[in-house]
Chains A and B, each alone.
Chain A
């Protein structure tokens, strides 16, 4: 028995690694998670399907959308978490955060000043209008799954407040990822470092660990 022990140990490690491999490869595409309408308080049931059955109509309770903003170099991300939605627009120079409640399959999110983001979502995509600095653009953003999505990092190091945000998006042509982001120290811009998922990122000499939406949604209000 004890002569077999070491082989069993190696085999157990191999089986564990294989299990993690299968789980990771088949991980459910995050996309959209729907729930019956009555489970979400304050949400009016309104989706594309079955207009007659109010009670059973599914509403999106969790989703991540990201895509390009038409006629710009910007990317936009919209994430739904229960009754709360977060939006982020960034072209590498201008950035804007949006937040607001979910109303059925619509969001009307407010940003700083008169910036706003209105979108309708469901069926695998969000589409709408983002208005910023007196201009507005249309966008269509499909659902994305990890590692694509919205990331944010904040950290205070010796009194200096570091902030960085990125939208990271699988290239629609299948060739790697595209990204935009901004980084700042004490609210003044610094060079935006390249985002690599699940790795610490060096912002102006200090390391931060970007969080996905689940990691920072609670902090945003």
Chain B
């Protein structure tokens, strides 16, 4: 019998700090969203007919980049047999995150965390969850000795949350109101 020892000890311990930090971000955003009195107004990128179309399109941009994220991640893990440069994954992720910031800022600053209708409740909670998971993923990335499942799970959760956010905002907006710039 030959025991196979992994060359490097892998455990979930290095995940602890990223997960705690992510949890704090999640809670902090939710608490801010409830305590801060919504202003009903926020500065954001210009060029759209209003705040809601701006948010619908930026979120759609992040959503498209999130699909690039999944494809490039699958390539990185050798699951699709195509080599996509690592830079594609990094920069599509960064861009998606930065596109989402003005949207989330408007949500939290101008509107606050709301739960008057189910769509808004789900959207509010997913929004807080997304930034928590994203923070955990970013903080976990540079750590060594993570379990193999850690990054795919965190990335998958971030992707799932973003898809949910897009469905409960942009997709709802385009279907309920119309596709307007």
A contact set with B: CB distance below 8 Å: 3-7, 9-10, 12-13, 16-17, 20-21, 23-24, 27, 146-147, 155, 196-200, 207-209, 211, 215
Contact yes or no, B50 A16, CB < 8 A = no
Cβ-closest 4 pairs across A and B: A197-B40, A147-B40, A6-B138, A23-B43
Q: Which residues does chain B contribute within 8 Å of A207, judged by CB atoms?
A: 176-177
Once A7-B138, A12-B98, A13-B97 are accepted as A-B contacts, the answer to whether A147 and B39 lie under 8 Å apart by CB is yes
Contact A215–B40 (Cβ < 8 Å): no
Binding site secondary structure of chain B? helix
User: Which residues of chain B have C-beta atoms less than 8 A from A196's C-beta?
Assistant: 40, 111
**Is B76 in contact with chain A by the CB < 8 A criterion?**
no
Give complex CA distance A6, B151 in Å: 13
A6 touching B105 in the complex, CB below 8 Å, given contacts A147-B40, A207-B176, A208-B177: no
* Closest B residue to A168 using CB positions: B40
Q: Smallest Cβ distance from A4 to chain B, in angstroms?
A: 8
Q: Is B102 an interface residue (CB 8 A)?
A: yes
Q: How many residues of B contact A (CB 8 A)?
A: 32
Contact indicator B138/A24 (Cβ below 8 Å): no
Chain A CB within 8 A of B80 CB: no
B74 within 8 A of A: no
Residue in A3, A12, A24 whose beta carbon sits within 8 Å of that of B42 in the complex: A24
Q: Bound state CA distance, A17 and B44, in angstroms?
A: 10
**B181 within 8 Å of A (CB atoms):** no
B41 and A197 form a contact (CB under 8 A) = yes
Q: Are B109 and A9 in contact (CB under 8 A)?
A: no
In the docked arrangement, what's the CA distance between A6 and B110, Å? 28
27 contacts between A and B (CB under 8 A): A5-B141, A6-B137, A6-B141, A7-B142, A9-B94, A9-B97, A10-B138, A10-B139, A13-B101, A16-B101, A17-B101, A20-B43, A20-B102, A20-B109, A27-B43, A147-B40, A147-B41, A196-B40, A197-B41, A197-B110, A198-B50, A198-B110, A200-B173, A207-B176, A209-B52, A209-B177, A215-B50
